[in-house]
């Protein structure tokens, strides 16, 4: 089945540690996105990429990094510089002028 | 940037009644307005969308209306069922970026 796969479903981070969240899509979509969701809040854009080897900062990029080496993959690294990383992270993708489709998220918690 | 406000934050309805969620947006250049449904522990799922050249769109029990002059759009769910219980998000798109409202918890009481 075509879709967006996020892994792992749950992730724990220790102080001073970087962690990487995986997002893979087999929809042949050009654009991919990372959002952060906090309780009772809407989705806030972290980074997005409209084409391979290119990406742009969203509204809350500080403390995060991404790469887009392959069309189907857009991993997000939560660095130790992100002081409040506990949240639900959502990856999405789309073709130009088409709706965004979401994965089922990764919940990140601090040990 | 675009700012999307969503009201009410929580809505309880009796099964079979209608539910209406309203959103307002700030950027008159926004031209695409999707609605997403999110169930617990899952990612948002697109349920209906509307573009700025259309005033209303309907898909079975779900409809969306858009008033560009007033810059607001609404989701209407008729004949609600328990499986309609979820969080619903509206969004507005301009400049290739989506801005989301904070979500609305809909509870359908059997």
How close B14 comes to chain A (CA, Å)?
Answer: 23
Q: Which two tokens stand for residue A53?
A: 């080897």
| CA distance linking residue A87 with residue A109, whole number of Å | 7
- Whether residue A40 lies within 8 A of chain B, CB to CB, comes out as yes
Please write the tens of the pLDDT for every residue from A34-88. Answer: 999 998 888 999 999 999 999 999 999 999 999 999 999 999 999 999 989 999 9
- Say yes or no for a CB contact (<8 Å) between A59 and B49: no
| CA distance linking residue A88 with residue A38, whole number of Å | 6
What are the backbone angles phi and psi of residue B19, rounded to the nearest 5°? -125, 140
**Confidence tier at A1 by pLDDT (50, 70, 90):** low
Residues in A touching B49 (Cβ below 8 Å): 99
| CA distance linking residue A46 with residue A61, whole number of Å | 5
Average pLDDT of every residue of chain B: 94
Mutate to test the interface with B, among A21, A99, A107 (most CBs of B within 10 A): A99
Give the containing element (helix H, strand E) for A13: strand A10-13
- Say yes or no for a CB contact (<8 Å) between B34 and A102: no
pLDDT at position B1: 81
Q: Which of B56, B54, B67 is nearest to B25 (CA)?
A: B67
Please write the tens of the pLDDT for every residue from A84-102. Answer: 999 999 999 999 889 999 9
What are the backbone angles phi and psi of residue A16, rounded to the nearest 5°? 75, 5
Please write the tens of the pLDDT for every residue from B50-76. Answer: 998 889 999 999 999 999 999 999 999
């Amino acid at each position: 089945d075509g879709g967006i796969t996020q892994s792992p479903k749950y992730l724990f981070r220790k102080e001073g540690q970087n962690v990487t969240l995986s997002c893979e899509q087999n929809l042949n979509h050009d654009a991919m996105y990372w959002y952060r969701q906090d309780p009772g809040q809407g989705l806030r854009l972290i980074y997005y990429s409209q084409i391979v080897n290119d990406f742009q900062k969203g509204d809350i990029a500080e403390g995060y990094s991404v790469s887009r080496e392959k069309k189907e993959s857009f991993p997000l690294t939560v660095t130790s510089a992100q002081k409040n990383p506990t949240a639900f992270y959502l990856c999405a993708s789309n073709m130009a002028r088409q709706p965004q489709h979401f994965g089922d998220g990764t919940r990140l918690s601090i040990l | 940037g675009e700012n999307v406000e969503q009201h009410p934050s929580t809505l309880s309805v009796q099964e079979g009644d209608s539910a209406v969620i309203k959103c307002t947006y700030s950027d008159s250049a926004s031209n695409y307005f999707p609605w997403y449904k999110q169930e617990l522990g899952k990612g948002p799922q697109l349920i209906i969308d509307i573009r700025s050249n259309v005033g209303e769109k309907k898909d079975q029990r779900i409809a969306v209306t858009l008033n560009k002059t007033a810059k607001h759009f609404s989701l209407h769910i008729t004949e609600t069922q328990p499986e309609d219980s979820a969080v619903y998000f509206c969004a507005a798109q301009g400049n290739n970026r989506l801005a989301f409202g904070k979500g609305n918890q809909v509870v359908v009481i059997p």
